[in-house]
């Protein structure tokens, strides 16, 4: 059943490729993988293979990659992605020796890939369960780990009818999980090779926060004055249904400087966003010191900046909560600012815990968002205390990278 499902998925991607840019890039990238490996692999080197589905998972694994790079320079790093949204942004990542796509999980791809690579160990990040690659790793006796993993009772592994899928888990040498529930679920099914180490994203966002990367165009946009500065609202990874909640309020409050980074940055998407705004707006890619200083809204139409942009905000909104689920809330929380997001956050441990410690608020709609914003802008003590709670939450969860590294080596 699994192999049939993978074959159908691969067929669907091929059908979509002529009409879908992401599918086209994925196929083109996968076709190059084996030639990249043959050309770039050092046959005398020992490789650690890291696999991330997309950009978010890469950022989750990055602290461990860089710690191994620093502490164990005798190893080289191969980094693979499945999604173009990860590969296209990080294909030139200096922390890895080779970066490429992971081909579809067919038996022949898994055998060929691992025969070429011969890794010393393999590390999968959070939600990666590719049966054929994992089976091959086990057959070759290659130590295999999953880090920052979360398991839930409703996942297919734990259904009464899903024993074949549950056997995928037998291929991991060790599970590094985020919470107690994940460990207990695994142990119920006789997986005792598990440690609660937390989430490596905390280490990553804290590192970014400490670096405090300066962005001159953003600073020019903020238009500091002698009497202080206008409040700054950063909306990150937004979708259209998020913007339907945010934009009416922000259009009525031109005194709030708005930085917005939509999740998708196609021309059609950016044009629709610009048309919804009633204030002078400029795109980051087209801004200069003059135009950015005159604008009331800055649209971030490129990748890789958002985690550093949050440092300039007084408040942040994280998109996705009116759709499939919210994006990374920790990137904003680390800067000690209140974090808002939509109601679909219950699958995200850090979002629930941020709400519990009063560092974040889930809004249910346009009216609720307006009310919350009015409260924060009217009561500076509330703004400051909520932001403080958010940062303290991040700091209290540091250390996952060190725990994983010490167990692996």
Nearest to 328 by CA among 208, 219, 221, 244: 208
Do 280 and 294 form a contact (C-beta atoms < 8 A)?
A: yes
**276: burial class by Cβ within 10 Å (0-12, 13-18, 19+)?**
middle
Other CB atoms within 10 Å distance of the CB of residue 254: 14
Length, in residues, of the chain: 409
Q: For position 226, what pLDDT does the model report?
A: 43
Q: 68 with 48: CB under 8 angstroms?
A: yes
SS (H, E, C) 220-257: HHHCCECCECCCEEEEEEECHHHHHHHHHHHHHCCCCE
Q: Give the Cα separation of 236 and 272 in Å (integer).
A: 16
Q: What is the DSSP letter of 310?
A: G
At 153-201, the pLDDT tens digits run 888 888 877 777 888 999 999 999 999 999 999 999 999 999 999 999 9
7 vs 394, residue with greater confidence: 394
Q: Which band of pLDDT confidence, cut at 50, 70 and 90, is reported for residue 103? A: very high
Question: In Å, what is the CA distance from 249 to each residue of 2, 239, 273, 348, 368?
Answer: 48, 16, 15, 27, 11
Please write the tens of the pLDDT for every residue from 321-344: 999 999 999 999 999 999 999 999
Distance CA 65, CA 112 (A): 24
Indicate the pLDDT class of residue 227, thresholds 50, 70 and 90: very low
With a pLDDT cut of 70, the percent of the chain lying above it is 99
123: helix, strand or coil: strand
CA proximity to 340, closest of 278, 349, 323, 358: 358
Positive or negative: CA dihedral 61, 305, 103, 48: negative
Lookup: tokens for 283? 């795109």
The whole-angstrom separation of Cα 26 and Cα 33 is 11
Start-end of CATH 3.40.50.11720 domains in the chain? 2-206+398-408
Q: How confident is the model at residue 68 (pLDDT cuts 50, 70, 90)?
A: very high
Residues of the chain with CATH 3.40.50.2000: 213-396
322 and 316 in contact (C-beta within 8 Å)? no
**CA gap 1, 116 in Å, rounded:** 27
pLDDT (mean) for 2-24: 86
**In the block, which residue shows the tokens 């049966």?**
131
CB–CB of 259/234 below 8 Å? yes
- Phi, psi torsion values for 278, nearest 5 degrees: -105, 15
b/e per residue 141-176 (b: at least 16 CB within 10 A): ebebbbbbbbbeeeeebbeeeeeebeebbebbbbbb
Mutual angle of helices 55-71 and 201-211, in 10-degree steps = 80
pLDDT in the model for residue 224: 57
Pick the range with the lowest mean pLDDT from 42-46, 153-157, 263-267: 153-157
Q: What is the mean pLDDT of residues 48-58?
A: 94
Q: What are the distances in angstroms from CA 219 to CA 224, 257, 258?
A: 8, 12, 13
Are 59 and 71 spatial neighbours (Cβ–Cβ below 8 Å)? no
- Give me the torsion for CA of 252, 254, 258, 264, rounded to 10°: 50
- Out of 59-63, 85-89, 175-179, 366-370, pick the least confident: 85-89
CA gap 114, 56 in Å, rounded: 25
Fold classification of 2-206+398-408 is Rossmann fold (3.40.50)
395 three-state secondary structure: helix
User: Helix 240-252 vs helix 366-378: angle between axes, to the nearest 10 degrees?
Assistant: 50
Most confidently predicted of 13-27, 188-202, 203-217: 188-202
127 pLDDT band, cuts 50/70/90, is: confident
Task: Work out the average pLDDT over 107-113.
Answer: 96
pLDDT of 279-314, one tens digit each? 999 999 999 888 888 899 999 998 889 999 999 999
Q: How far apart, in whole angstroms, are the C-alpha atoms of residue 217 and residue 302? A: 14
CB-CB contact of 205 with 394 (8 Å): yes
The continuous run of DSSP H or E covering 175 comes out as strand 174-177
Architecture of the structural domain at 213-396: 3-Layer(aba) Sandwich (3.40)
Average pLDDT, the chain: 93
């Amino acid at each position: 059943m699994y192999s049939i499902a993978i074959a159908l998925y691969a067929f669907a991607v091929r059908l979509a490729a002529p009409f879908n840019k992401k599918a086209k890039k994925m196929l083109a990238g996968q076709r190059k993988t084996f030639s990249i490996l043959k050309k770039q692999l050092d046959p005398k080197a020992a490789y650690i293979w890291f696999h991330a589905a997309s950009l978010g998972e890469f950022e989750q694994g990055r602290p461990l990659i860089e710690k191994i790079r620093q502490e164990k320079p005798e190893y080289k790093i191969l980094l693979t992605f499945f999604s173009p949204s990860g590969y296209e942004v990080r294909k030139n990542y200096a922390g890895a020796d080779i970066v490429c796509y992971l081909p579809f999980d067919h038996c022949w791809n898994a055998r060929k890939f691992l025969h070429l690579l011969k890794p010393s160990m393999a590390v999968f990040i959070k939600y990666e369960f590719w049966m054929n690659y994992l089976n091959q790793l086990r057959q070759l006796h290659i130590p295999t780990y999953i880090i920052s993993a979360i398991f839930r009772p409703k996942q297919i592994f734990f259904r009464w009818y899903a024993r074949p899928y549950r056997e995928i888990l037998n291929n991991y040498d060790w599970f590094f999980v985020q919470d107690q529930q994940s460990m207990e679920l695994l142990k119920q099914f006789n997986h005792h090779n598990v440690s609660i180490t937390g989430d490596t994203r905390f280490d990553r966002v804290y590192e970014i926060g400490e670096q405090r990367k300066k962005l001159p165009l953003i600073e020019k946009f903020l238009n500091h004055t002698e009497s202080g500065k206008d409040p700054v609202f950063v909306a990150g990874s937004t979708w259209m249904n998020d913007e339907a909640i945010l934009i009416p309020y922000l259009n009525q409050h031109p005194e709030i400087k708005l930085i917005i980074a939509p999740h998708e940055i196609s021309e059609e998407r950016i044009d629709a966003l610009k048309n919804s705004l009633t204030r002078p707006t400029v795109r980051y890619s087209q801004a200069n010191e003059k135009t950015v200083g005159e604008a009331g809204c800055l649209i971030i139409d490129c990748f890789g900046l958002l985690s550093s942009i949050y440092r300039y905000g007084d408040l942040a909104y994280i998109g996705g909560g009116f759709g499939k689920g919210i994006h990374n809330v920790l990137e904003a929380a680390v800067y000690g600012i209140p974090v808002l997001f939509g109601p679909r956050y219950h699958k995200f441990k850090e979002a629930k815990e941020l709400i519990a410690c009063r560092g974040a608020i889930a809004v249910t709609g346009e009216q609720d968002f307006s009310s919350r914003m009015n409260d924060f802008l009217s009561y500076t003590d509330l703004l400051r205390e909520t932001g403080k709670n958010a940062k303290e939450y991040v700091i209290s969860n540091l250390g996952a990278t060190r725990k994983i590294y010490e167990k692996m080596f």
